[in-house]
Structure 1
Amino acid sequence: MNTLNTSSQEKPIKGYKIDGDYIIFTFNKKDYLEATNERNNQKLDFDDFDIEKVVVAGSFNLWSRDNWEMVKVNNNIYQLKKRIDDFNDDFNWEFKFVINNSIWAEPSKEMANIVPAIKDGYRINKYNFKILPVNIKKDGNAKFFLKGYTNAKEVILSGSFNYWNEHLYKMKKTKNGWKLNLQLKPNDYQYRFIVDGNWIEDPDNSNRIPNEFGEYNSVIDIRKKITFFLSDFKNAKKVILAGTFNNWSEDQLKMKKTENGWIYKITLSGGKHHYKFIVDGHWKLDPNNPIKEYDGNGNINSVKMVK
């Protein structure tokens, strides 16, 4: 498996990549068809001027044109390496490259990680780069580890969370293998490892599904701790929590009685979950949750959205 050609993977991610504990911003002149001169809003071809300086400007540095100057690699490429810890926890940033203090390199709409630029509250016919909302964190809730392969030169983590990008998330080499921790929203994610250019599934993860190449993608289910609480019903003898998350079992999830009501803590996958309480054999909607929905069988259930 050398390439992936699904529709979500056709557009390239540009402008940055993740390398272990670092973000590496990369400006490559060949990636851009045009630039804009801020002083007169004139469109420029990159052959029209000489590059003397390139700066990363974005929401993470208040769009400064002074502080994040890049290092020249060759006549086309400039780079800047920053630690993940230097950023705040949002990991939801926009940025662009500024050349010679006044020329903005304009990302193409054919790039995957772009969003419309906003000026004075209005969208303009320009784009900013956007760093994908996947946080690299040492204590992240999604822990990826590939045992062995210590002789490999490079291992990349690629999955549905980063549009199956083949370069973005470079794993960190350890004594026993390769690791990378991400902070992901609750959901099911598919992923594979790329070891020196060769795609493999996670050999230590039995949760997998077939892919279109006749092989398998590994699957990680990120869950979130959720607390269900039913107030009152202090005289009830037994309260059961039932929902789509346990096939509506009538005896599996017995709630704990407290001074103020009944409580049950559970970890759930991302998405929509229907549920009800069974109070001494009687099915009850959650009186404190206004969100309700029909289930297609004529029943109304309370709804819990896990994000």
Structure 2
Amino acid sequence: MKILLQHIAFIAFLIFTASGFAQNDTKKGYNIQGEEVTFIFNLKDYPNIENNDEEVNDVFVSGEFNNWAKDQWRMDKVNDSIYTLKKDLSEFTSDFDWEFKFIVNSVHWAEPSRQFENIANAKSGDIWFHGIYNLKLYSAFATDYGNVSFKLKGYKDAKKVVLSGTFNRWDETGFKMKPTEDGWEVTLQLRPDIYQYKFIVDGNWITDPRNPSKVENEYDGYNSVIDVQKNVTFRLCKFPDAENVILSADFNDWSEHDFKMKKINGCWVYNQKLSGGKYHYKFIVDGKWITDPANTVKEYDYDGNINSVCMVK
């Protein structure tokens, strides 16, 4: 049953871009604004439903995100043709593909008209299905207030320059760069992680000439690499009478001397920039190793020691 539903599923491309999480190109079936995604069902877009004499009593959104439930995500009726449903983006797993569709009266799967620009076809066995889409949810989005600016100097005669990388699964249209006095620029909001990227100049893929960090790719070429880090504050608010407190972790090779913590407002504090990922750490208080009393997340290491865990994302 799930396979059948997936074949007639409604899918769309959702890419976080400018204005918070706004999208570049509006497509049928959804809209993103702020931190909400609004599913939009327009009866006039679905001839198999509109041409049916049956009265529309309700419309639901059904997909992988709600286990293809037929009657959980009820849409609100705006008028005789339009139904909408708003959901917070936190209800979706970041950087994941979702399949979804609209279901009318808990019976009829809404199949889009063939005039939709974002229509695709899929084949299962010997049967072709129409109206197959893929909703891609990316955590990266373009905004003037983002944390990472990508700049390409020169190429002033170029007609179109696009930034593409692992942060948007190498999409070739999502992040269009803006012309500046000395080249092109776009600013993204990116989670801490290590990303690969390239610029597409009038269809020609190039690495970042200002970034010496590169890795080989599967096409016998190279991709530029950027390590986006986040400032993490480690804090120990006990042991006010201690004379010496050290932060020791796998990110500093468990050094017992390098990361000396400072006492600020009665707490021992150390700030460290880290890439996205999981880290083990401990405090050394006057020579005694302890886990973080304020952090309940702990794990054993390969030597059987218990360490506190810091997740950076």
Q: What band does the TM-score fall into relative to the shorter chain?
A: 0.5 to 0.7
Structure 1 residue aligned with 2:30: 58
Work out the CA distance in 2 between the residues paired with 1:178 and 1:305.
Answer: 34
Superposed CA deviations along residues 271-297 of structure 1, whole A, max 9, x for unmatched, are 101101111222111111111111112
| Contact kept? 2:196, 2:224, Cα under 8 Å | yes
Mapped partners of 1:196, 1:101: distance in 2: 34
Q: 1:194 and 1:101 mapped to 2: Cα distance?
A: 34
8 Å Cα contact 1:187/1:270 also seen in 2: yes
> Does residue 191 in structure 1 map to residue 197 in structure 2?
yes
TM-score relative to the length of structure 2: 0.65
Match of 1:35 in 2: none
Is the 2:15–2:136 contact (alpha carbons within 8 Å) kept by the matching residues of 1?
no
Render the CA deviation track for 1:63-85: whole Å, top value 9, x for unaligned: xxxxxxxxxxxxxxxxxxxxxxx
1:123-142 paired onto structure 2 within 5 Å? 129-142=135-148
Out of 21, 27, 44, the position equivalent to 1:100 is 44
Equivalent residue number for residue 206 of structure 1: 212
CA distance in 2, matches of 1:217, 1:148: 19
Residues 113, 245 of structure 1: alpha-carbon distance in 2 compared, 3 angstrom cutoff: same
Which sections of structure 1, spanning at least 5 residues, go unmatched? 1-12, 28-55, 61-86
Contact 2:16 2:141 in 1 (8 A): no
> Out of 236, 239, 243, which is 1:237 matched to?
243
Change (3 A) 1:253 1:153: same
| Offset at residue 167 of structure 1 (A) | 2.0
Contact 2:14/2:138 (<8 A) preserved: no
Counterpart code for 2:299:
E
Structure 1 residues 186-225: Cα deviation after superposition (integer angstroms, max 9, x where no partner) = 1111111111111111111122211122221111111112
Contact 1:148 1:178 in 2 (8 A): yes
8 Å CA contact retained: 2:15, 2:141? no
CA contact (8 A) 2:103 2:109 kept: no
Structure-1 residue corresponding to 2:180: 174
Query: Match of 2:99, as an amino acid?
Result: V
The amino acid that maps onto 1:25 is D
Give unpaired runs (5+ residues) of structure 2.
Answer: 1-10, 50-63, 65-95, 111-132
CA RMSD of aligned residues (A): 3.5
Call closer, same or farther: CA 1:259–1:169 in 2, change over 3 Å: closer
CA distance in 2, matches of 1:128, 1:197: 24
Letter in 2 for 1:58: Y
Range moving further from structure 2, 280-289 or 269-278: 280-289
Deviation at 1:114, TM superposition (A): 4.1
Q: SS of the counterpart of 2:294? A: coil
| Shift in Å, 1:261 | 2.2
Count of paired positions: 234
Q: 2:293: which partner in 1?
A: 287
Read off the aligned partner of 2:100 and give its amino acid letter.
P
SS in structure 2 opposite 1:203?
Answer: coil
Which of residues 97, 116, 126 is equivalent to 2:100? 116
Checking the alignment, whether the CA contact within 8 Å between 1:226 and 1:265 is kept in structure 2 is: yes
Q: 1:262 to 1:191 in 2, by over 3 A?
A: same
Secondary structure at the counterpart of residue 211 of structure 2: coil
Amino acid at match of 2:268: W
Correspondence for 2:267: 261
Task: Find runs of 4+ consecutive structure 1 residues off by over 4 angstroms.
Answer: 13-22, 94-97, 101-105, 117-120, 124-128
Q: Who is 1:25 aligned against? A: 25
